[in-house]
Structure 1
Amino acid sequence: MNVSFRPHWLLAVALPLVLAACGDSEPDQRAAFKQFLQTRILDKPGVHVPKPTAEESKAFGDYSSHYAVITDFNGKMDESVKPLGNLVKTLSVRSLNDVIEHRNDLQAAKNGLNEMGEHLKQYQAEADAAHAKLKQPDDLKPVYDKAYDRTVSTPTNAFMDVLPQIDTAMDAISKVGDYVEANKAQIQINGSQITVQDPKVLEELNARLQAVNAQGKAVQEAQSRMQSVMFGR
């Protein structure tokens, strides 16, 4: 009797071991995560932060939390830089009238720009701290680090490069507006026609307008560099 029941007892013990082996192992999860990072982020030009499907997230296992460091940062960054388009519009001055009309908007725009920069620094610092705490096998870490650099460090640096250029351009516009206000007795504006009575005032005004043009060009160049980073152009 005892001998006849022994195979059933052995089967009952072995069955959980077989079932456990059917689940995704850590090497399989790591391989799936590495392939996702390589093919969906690193092999593509520009900055891509794809959203994994439910099946992909399941295949990553605990490594899904590693990817969340990247996606959480990008969600915050996207929200933070949304006002950038409107801020750049403030710099779209084509005449002295535009400068005067934008004069009162510039300080609010500068405040928004500074706030944007502070948020980006904070979000990057938080992501860097979370990144530093991740424990990863030697074959995964270099792939993840490259993906992190592509999706966190590189876009942040690109935005942080263009923000000071915009700020300097805003300062140049402000100086023109302030100068016109201080010398409005000498400067007459009638539509696109500008008449300046004092040659010295004309010279100084032109110098300030040239500074606006130069800073506008610098902003465009910084934007082009940022687009090259973001879109891989």
Structure 2
Amino acid sequence: MTFAVKTWAQRLLMPVMALFFVMQLSGCGDSDKEQQKAFIDYLQNTVMRGSVTIPTLSEAQKQQLGHYAGDYAILVTFSQNFNRAMEASMTPLFSTLQQIRTPQEYLTQRDRLQQELGALNMLGQQIQSAKAQADGAYATLKQPEEVKAVFDKAFTKIVTGPSNAVMPMIPQAAGVAQTLVQVGDFLQNLGPQARFDNQGVQLQTQAQVDQYNQLMRDLSVKYQALMAAQQQNAGLLQN
């Protein structure tokens, strides 16, 4: 008789437990759907509408996005690495270029340009490393199709687009910096033979004038190409 009671108790318990597990599974599914929707909304309304510099998530946002916060971290990590590399090389170089207004500043800015050229020579490797890290993390993702479709667009905007835009600009910027350093070296080697006045420079021989003018022509071609590339990619690099 005891056995019968126990048996009936087990039979009664089984459908109750089955219902419990169904409810639990249903709850998890609903939670994941909510996280998917929150992630898609965040990508569309924050990442896709903003600049390439994207914000980190608050603790509340991490809770809302659930495991998708890890997917978003791929974008944030690349964005931070990319911006850090740019701010140590390309950004200060452009700032220096904007400060050069007179021939004498080719000379006074020469040492700074040499330092910035050294940092610029490391930029390509830094961006390639950051992109390889992002690509590797992206390859491991297993996202639902509706999430992947939006995330892929965000990945292109934050990772692929800026990388592809900057890499060709690095040798162009380096060429401008190298020519500016050459002009500075040229003027320094002339010493007192180069006299600066009225925002210009006076040289002593025709050979000096010819060499200076050739450097200026070379600089003009390289600078115009760099500015054209910057303008063309302004939308991809907008902070």
The one-letter code matched in structure 2 to 1:69 is I
Q: What is the aligned partner in structure 2 of residue 26 from structure 1? A: 32
- Answer yes or no: is the 8 Å Cα contact 1:45–1:231 preserved in 2: no
Q: What is the aligned partner in structure 1 of residue 234 from structure 2? A: 227
RMSD (Å), alpha carbons: 3.1
Choose from 73, 76, 89 the match for 1:71.
76
TM-score, scaled relative to structure 1: 0.81
- Answer yes or no: is the 8 Å Cα contact 2:195–2:202 preserved in 1: yes
The one-letter code matched in structure 2 to 1:216 is Y
Which SS does the other structure have where 2:73 is aligned? helix
Q: 5 Å matches for 1:1-233? A: 2=5, 9=13, 13=17, 14-15=19-20, 17-23=22-28, 24-42=30-48, 44=49, 46-47=51-52, 49-83=54-88, 84-91=90-97, 92-184=99-191, 186-190=193-197, 192-231=199-238
The one-letter code matched in structure 2 to 1:77 is F
Give the drift of 1:149: 0.6
Which SS does the other structure have where 1:87 is aligned? helix
Percent of paired sites with the same residue: 23
Which SS does the other structure have where 2:87 is aligned? coil
Counterparts of 1:140 and 1:152, CA distance in 2: 17
Which SS does the other structure have where 1:153 is aligned? helix
TM-score, scaled relative to structure 2: 0.79
The one-letter code matched in structure 1 to 2:41 is Q
- Answer yes or no: is the 8 Å Cα contact 1:186–1:201 preserved in 2: no
Give the drift of 1:114: 1.4
The one-letter code matched in structure 2 to 1:57 is K
Give the drift of 1:162: 3.1
- Unpaired segments of 5 or more residues in structure 1? none
Give the drift of 1:228: 2.2
- Unpaired segments of 5 or more residues in structure 2? none
Moved more, 145-154 or 212-221: 212-221
Moved more, 158-167 or 90-99: 158-167
The one-letter code matched in structure 2 to 1:198 is T
Which SS does the other structure have where 2:237 is aligned? helix
Which whole-Å deviations, capped at 9, do the CAs of 1:181-232 have from their partners, x for residues lacking one? 4444653334635222222221221121233233333333333334322349
Cα distance change on mapping 1:126 and 1:64 into 2, 3 Å = same
